[in-house]
Amino acid sequence: MAAFALLAASFLVAYLVIRYQPKVEHEIRTIGFLALPLAVAVFALVASAPFSVTDALAIMNGAIFGPVKGSIVNAIGLVFAAMLGYWINTRATHLLDVNEYLARLPAWVKRFPVGSPAFLLAVRVIPGFGGTVATATAAAFRVPMWVHVWTMCAIAVPICTVLAIFGDRVTVFIHRTEWRATHYCQTHRCPHFRFHRFHPAPRPTP
């Protein structure tokens, strides 16, 4: 239940960012050159946590920074998240029962040697706990960090790039639609328009 609430809350935040993107972008720009490093740091911290939900963050970065910068923020954040998650798991492997998670994996995944690149790639495509299992397995079996990083990024970067583009396109669509509706209303004098009422110019006094 808590996991579902966290997922719902993260996507609610993403929706609010998209809905009020001009204001959010303005506030972000007031931070100056620290905006992008801050976004990378936040993404890395969230993505490195077990059972984390980064989809909403990937969408928000696209909505705030645009498809190119948003995708770059996501990609860099994922690299740091992979390294940080690996470091955390090498020191906290005892907190997760890796063998229990491995036993729950589908049969088609178990055909690959545990800890191999093919295994890590296959596990990461499993929704939900796949990423957590892959990171914990890499740490428990002392897989080289660079192998863990590239296998994580090979799956996560394309997905987050698509999500960043999606966030940007949805934002553009929403605000362009509102602009068109406002322009139509002002042109056709429709005072009943629910979002932006048309206020006719006052007549000049004789």
The per-residue pLDDT string of the chain (206 residues; one tens digit each, 9 = 90 and over) reads: 554 565 466 556 656 766 676 676 667 767 778 888 988 988 888 888 776 678 888 988 898 888 999 999 999 999 999 998 888 888 766 556 777 778 888 889 888 998 899 999 999 988 877 888 888 888 888 899 999 999 999 999 999 999 999 988 888 888 776 555 555 455 555 544 443 433 444 555 55
Question: DSSP state, 205?
Answer: P
**The amino acid at 33:** F
CA 172 to chain centre: 18
What is the domain partition of the chain in residue ranges?
A: 7-175
Instruction: Give Cβ neighbours of residue 18 (< 8 Å, ≥ 6 apart).
Output: 59, 60, 63, 167, 170, 171, 174
pTM of the prediction?
0.73
